[in-house]
Amino acid sequence: MRTQCYRHKHTSMRRFILSIAAAVAMAGAVSAQSSLIEQEAAENAVQEFDNELRSPMVGPKLRSYVRAYMKSIAENLYREGYDVETMREGEVVIAVIPTDELFAPNDTVLMPAANKRLEHFKQYAVPDDRFKIVIAVHSDDTGSEEYLYDLTERRTVAVLDYLESVGFNPDNIVGFPKGNSSPVAESTSRANRAKNRRLEIFIVPSQELLLSLIHI
């Protein structure tokens, strides 16, 4: 399994890539060493993904305020027709969008119709950087692991580009291409494979939001 993280650098506004393939190439390692490097990099990326969703921590005094605030966001997304999940006992909201609604098969350019599905999220770009947005792009298992990872990698970049274009602070968005590493359904039918092809948008309360609630 390969996973890497995409961010924006504050100074150059360009993504830096923690690329496993690049790490292997730079190491000039033999096959066994390359495998160990790839495994370690994958484990580090998974850990980074988890860390992004766990931070910042919400203290006991603010939990009820944050959960109520995020509940209103979840309800709004649900009314708008998104599949919605939550984690951290309601502190993080997850909107799930089938990638078939965003990209043509095997393509990595957002379709015109994708704007309608994604434009709702631009409201979370303001005010005051109150949210961190973490995205994860998934594929089904139709194709080689290498191909599917590259596909979700390019789609991750496309979604991050869109989010930046509608006003998100580049420091507050991060993306993780997942390939076919995290299916939600067994690959036994077309319908199930379609469920696995998805974009997950995690809306995480930022430190700025927590600070704004302290005085409530």
Find the angle CA(206)-CA(108)-CA(20) to the nearest 5 degrees.
65
Residue at 1 is within a domain: no
What residues make up the domain containing 197?
59-213
Residue at 194 is within a domain: yes
Residue at 131 is within a domain: yes
Residue at 160 is within a domain: yes
Q: Which residues of 85-119 are buried (b: 16+ CB within 10 A; e: fewer)?
A: ebebeebbbbbbbebeebbeeeebebeeebeebbe
**How many angstroms separate the CA atoms of 37 and 44, rounded?**
10
- Looking at the structure of the chain, the number of domains it has is 1
Residue at 97 is within a domain: yes
Residue at 84 is within a domain: yes
Instruction: Return per-residue pLDDT of the chain as tens, 216 residues.
Output: 444 555 543 333 333 333 334 344 444 445 555 555 555 656 666 777 777 777 767 778 788 888 998 999 999 999 999 999 999 899 999 999 999 999 999 999 999 999 999 999 988 887 667 888 999 999 999 999 999 999 999 999 999 999 999 988 888 899 999 999 999 999 999 999 999 999 999 999 877 666 666 655
Residue at 20 is within a domain: no
Q: What is the pTM of this model?
A: 0.80
Residue at 38 is within a domain: no
Please name the residue that has the structure tokens 């309360």.
Answer: 205
Domain with 108 in it: what CATH number?
Answer: 3.30.1330.60
DSSP states along 152-206: HHHHHHHHHHHHHHTT--GGGEEEEEEETSS-SS-SSSHHHHHHHSEEEEEEEE-
**Quick check: helix, strand or coil at residue 124?**
helix
Find the angle CA(166)-CA(156)-CA(74) to the nearest 5 degrees.
60
